[in-house]
Amino acid sequence: MTEHDEHRAWLLQRRVLPQHTDHAGVMWHGAYVAWLEEARVEALQTAGLAYADLAAAGLELPVVSLTITYRQALLHGDQVELRSWVLPRQGVKLPWISRFLRAGGELAAEARVELVLIDRSRGPNQHRLLRRTPDALARAIDRLVAGPLAQRGPQQVIT
């Protein structure tokens, strides 16, 4: 992502708590995955589609690919900003790029997550990969790609 794309970043702020760390106070790798999931669910909600509503309609967005590159350890007590960007769909995949930044802006980790859309409304053993996105979800994905500032419109300066 470039500085030009910063306005499209979805933000999630968290503090590394004891339950996120190993015995040495270093953030456990599974906590990164949980925060990535939380960031996706919150961004989808802000874009106008609650994940619970998606699931109630029999649709799921499972992860099919996940890579995390660790640059610096996050430690107990660190304040972290997770910046995420949704890229346009690539075939059936919906890619997300995320960066974990320390309070001073230092890059701690980068992640790429790819999701696919499945329909499970026909029963628990009847999953079907959807190549065409339902209209409501397609609109939400367009809003996700545009970023959070597009949801609010132009910023107003109050004097």
Helix, strand, coil share (%) of the chain residues, nearest 5:
30, 35, 35
Q: Which sequence positions are flagged as catalytic?
A: 22
Contact 111, 35 (CB under 8 A): no
Of the candidates 48, 49, 43, the one whose C-alpha atom is nearest the C-alpha of residue 96 is 43
Q: 106 Cβ partners below 8 Å, 6+ apart?
A: 72
Question: Residue 9: is it exposed, middle or buried by C-beta count within 10 angstroms (0-12/13-18/19+)?
Answer: buried
How many distinct helices (H) and strands (E) make up the chain? 4, 8
- Other CB atoms closer than 10 Å to residue 63's CB: what's the count? 14
